[in-house]
Amino acid sequence: MRMGHTVNFKEELAARTARAEEVLARFLPPQEGPAKELADAMSYSLLAGGKRLRPVLMAETFAVFGGEGAVIEPFMAGMEMIHTHSLIHDDLPALDNDDLRRGRPTTHRVYGEAAAILAGDALLNYAYETMCRAFGMGHDTDAVARTLSLIAEKTGIRGMLGGQSVDVALEGKPIPADTLSYIYEKKTAALIEASMTAGAVLAGADEADTAVLLEAARKIGVAFQIRDDILDVEGDQAALGKPVHSDEKNNKTTYVTLYGLAEADRCVQKLSGEALALLSGLKADTSFLQELTRAMTTRRF
Ligand code: GRG
């Protein structure tokens, strides 16, 4: 198992999460000057202690496909900034109107709604500013450009934001199964896809391996979202760091409302199994990615 000096997955994950935390803190804008309050709100949201799954996934696929050096770091930071922007905006009164995120009051509860909108916008923009730094790091610029481009695509109208827009438009209405799948593949899986393929593309993985990773990531991402639906019903607010029963409050159609808890759980297991089969079919050592897939799809937080 390619996990450094230890084969203990929990310890290894903790070490990789700590590295992601360290990278994030290093790439944030300084909290000084006239826009200090904006930098404070960005830092408050970003350093609030999420699971850091996306940068960890990205760093791992970079390493699995032979990537070396620090060029992955601006992408790790950028991806977590994009993810955090989506959480800040999703919690706003106009969307889910939630008060708790990552175990702390949401950004708009602390800084006010206008400042939270700006902090989300600023994180999204700063993500690209940060990732563009990779051009000056002596890495293959074509690989850097392709990595940036795939992240932009998976974040925007053809990815996360496209899915979120359909989710919002259909709130409180019955959603057909194929539309719900579209929403999950875009709103949630797209950033997991971006994270897993970005590391590989930056490292120079070939198209066939990247396509397998993309397919595995889509399955992991959809399973992760269905697990989120399940935890919203039977999870624990203290462990999750965010309110439960938020979907019910917002009258949302989810896998749980559409198929019931038991069938939703079967879907998670099926998707997880298919993703594991895809990962284990790759020639590279995907043992850590497989452990992480299991952890993401059986999580309680
Ligand atoms: C841009 C407003 C806007 C929304 C985009 C991603 C998203 C759509 C909204 C965020 C809220 C949400 C339910 C996202 C689905 C994906 C998901 C389960 C996110 C939570 O990710 P975790 O569990 O969070 O990795 P941490 O806090 O650990 O980083």
Q: What is the amino acid identity at position 184? A: Y
Considering the chain, what percentage of its residues have pLDDT values greater than 70? 98
Beta bridge partners of 104: 101
Q: Does residue 186 line the site of ligand 1, with CB under 6 A?
A: no
Contact 146, 135 (CB under 8 A): no
Q: Does residue 232 line the site of ligand 1, with CB under 6 A?
A: no
pLDDT tens profile 35-76? 999 999 999 999 988 999 999 999 999 999 999 999 999 999
Nearest CA to ligand 1 atom 24: 50
Extents of the domains making up the chain: 9-298
Distance 14 CA to ligand 1 centre (A): 21
Average pLDDT, the chain: 95
| DSSP code at position 136 | G
3-state secondary structure of 251: coil
- Ligand 1 pocket test, candidate residues 188, 237, 245, most atoms within 8 A of CB: 188
Considering the chain, what percentage of its residues have pLDDT values greater than 90? 89
To the question of domain 9-298 being in CATH 1.10.600.10, the answer is: yes
- pLDDT, residue 248, reads 84
- pLDDT, residue 6, reads 46
Distance 84 CA to ligand 1 centre (A): 8
Residue 85 Cα: closest atom of ligand 1? 1
pLDDT tens profile 12-23? 999 999 999 999
DSSP string over 31-100:
S-STTHHHHHHHHHHHTS----HHHHHHHHHHHHTT--STTHHHHHHHHHHHHHHHHHHHTSTTTT--SE
List per-residue pLDDT tens for the chain, 301 residues long.
555 544 699 999 999 999 999 999 999 999 999 999 999 999 999 998 899 999 999 999 999 999 999 999 999 999 999 999 999 999 999 998 999 999 999 999 999 999 999 999 999 999 999 999 999 999 999 999 999 999 999 999 999 999 999 999 998 888 999 999 999 999 999 999 999 999 999 999 999 999 999 999 999 999 999 999 999 999 988 888 888 998 888 888 999 999 999 999 999 999 999 999 999 999 999 999 999 999 999 998 8
Using CA atoms, how far apart are residues 158 and 82, in angstroms rounded to an integer? 15
pLDDT tens profile 268-287? 999 999 999 999 999 999 99
